[in-house]
A and B are shown apart, each in its own frame.
Chain A
Amino acid sequence: MALPVKTTDFLQETGGISVFTGRFFKEAFKPRYEISEFLRQCFVIGYRSLPLIGLTGFIMGLVLTMQLRPSLIEYGVESQLPAMVGIAIVREIGPVITALIFAGKIGSSIGAELGSMKVTEQIDAMEVSGTNPFKYLVVTRVAASTLMLPILVMISDAISLFGSYIGVNINGITSFPLFYTQVFNNLGFSDVLPAFVKSFFFGFAVGIISCYKGFYSNKGTEGVGQSANSSVVISSITIFVIDLIAVQITNVLNLN
């Protein structure tokens, strides 16, 4: 079972990830910088998850619009449909769903990749080849996922809104400029900024947790599967916890 069931396990895991995070910040800002590997990871992590995230984003926007319409008609505010969907997507659904899919795709692949490298001593082989594996493998992946997720969220938001536009047009005709105006007149800076900022944290959490699980994978091939699995489970839970904290902070800062 991937979830830490016992409290001691939970505390141990949290402690381990905290120490790992500390080490990340210590190593990330010291030379030598692994620029080319970082760029390669940005490509792998960002570009390769684009089709999946685009597709889910599109369906999400479309379905959300179609589901909301009957209720809005009942209250006689059907014209508010684009505005409502826009806010829902940009503030909450876009970042969270994208992050969860990202955790599923990237988290599991990082966990499995580093896990199998650990188990087959490839990480040790890097070490003796004059490479700091923490910098080469962990820092690059965490930095790439931290930077790529916000970009993916923005792209996913845009595609979702397009899906929503199509959803609006299924039962009636709204011109694109009108739809666009309705969405963006109701979206403020305070809607976009917190969502954008929290997606950095989502990306960081997915990166650091899956690297941690992979880097300290148990011996044996069974350990690799476990690392991949618990990377996804723990990342997903952490995304919701961060989301919860983020909404509290935006409330306190009166950004609504």
Chain B
Amino acid sequence: MEAQTIVQPEKKKSNQDVIIIKHLNKSFGSNKVLVDFNINLEKDENLVVMGKSGSGKSVLIKCIIGLLEPDSGTIEIFGRNIPDLDRNELDEIRAKVGFLFQGNALYDSMTVRQNLEFPLRRHWMNVNQPEVNKLVQEALDDVGLKHTINMMPAELSGGMRKRIALARTLILKPEIILYDEPTTGLDPGTAKEIIELIVAIQKKYRSSSLIISHDMNCVRLAADRVVMLIDGRCYAEGTYDSLKKSGDPKIKDLIE
């Protein structure tokens, strides 16, 4: 089946792509997860990738950050091809790209403060303590959880954990943020708060975001553009409104 573009997205204010993925293939054994997958993320945009559970969304985002190695294809971030980079070069890129894990991945054995300090100290080796304190406070302020600074992740609720994970992602002021299902497992109210937080953060830091989600609220409120990942391909792409009008059953299936 050929990938089809339902509606060409209207041209963006800036026409600079920060992520360009071309002909990406990834399979696990005989399970072909991504097949000749192509997308790009433009500067300052919120791109939402939709897809059914198990369609390979997490695999895609892990390939982008270099946690999984694709079988073939190129993933360019700031003009550099991720699969070709060694660890040091990857770390340089990763300092500018935030990643919010689907399951938060907070360090259980560390306090909230230590969780937030970890990426700071690891990526910016020469940062001093007052600077670290200031950034930690600022990040916690952004997500509205200043009072949890000395708590352990186990003492937090699911929504709070998501916010702390978000704070940890934001603390390096990344130029690109990758969100893996930021609202799954949360009640609709909390989910909406997280989405609003994501939009606010995007405005504040002028970062580009790639958001994986099948939450319609998230798509409606946050997406400048939507890509549908179906059968391992970029099946359709366009704005929420344009995709909503589509008669294709597979698209309707995803967008309700």
Can you spell out 19 A-B residue pairs with CB atoms less than 8 angstroms apart? A117-B107, A117-B108, A120-B103, A120-B105, A121-B101, A122-B107, A124-B67, A124-B101, A125-B99, A125-B101, A125-B106, A126-B118, A128-B67, A128-B99, A129-B119, A129-B122, A129-B123, A131-B118, A132-B87
Chain B residues within an 8 Å CB radius of A122: 105-108
Chain B residues 105 to 126 lying within 8 A of chain A, measured CB to CB, are 105-109, 118-119, 122-123
How many residues of A are in contact with the other chain, CB < 8 A? 15
Smallest Cβ-Cβ distance to B94: which chain A residue: A128
Chain B residues within an 8 Å CB radius of A113: 109
**Chain A CB within 8 A of B255 CB:** no
**Chain A CB within 8 A of B65 CB:** yes
- Name A's B-contacting residues (CB within 8 A): 113, 116-117, 120-122, 124-132
Kindly provide the distance from the CB of A57 to the nearest chain B CB, expressed in whole angstroms: 29
A126 to B97, CA, bound (A): 14
Of B62, B105, B122, the residue contacting A130 (CB under 8 A) is B122
Of A120, A127, A131, the residue contacting B67 (CB under 8 A) is A127
A161 to B148, CA, bound (A): 50
Smallest Cβ-Cβ distance to A127: which chain B residue: B67
A131 to B67, CA, bound (A): 12
**Chain A CB within 8 A of B254 CB:** no
Kindly provide the distance from the CB of B88 to the nearest chain A CB, expressed in whole angstroms: 10
**Chain A CB within 8 A of B35 CB:** no
A131 to B105, CA, bound (A): 15
Contacting pair A125 B95 (CB below 8 A): no
Smallest Cβ-Cβ distance to B58: which chain A residue: A121
**Chain A CB within 8 A of B91 CB:** yes
Smallest Cβ-Cβ distance to A119: which chain B residue: B103
A-contact 0/1 string along B46-76, CB 8 Å cutoff:
0000000000000000100111000000000
Of A116, A121, A126, A130, the residue contacting B95 (CB under 8 A) is A130
Kindly provide the distance from the CB of A176 to the nearest chain B CB, expressed in whole angstroms: 44
A117 to B109, CA, bound (A): 10
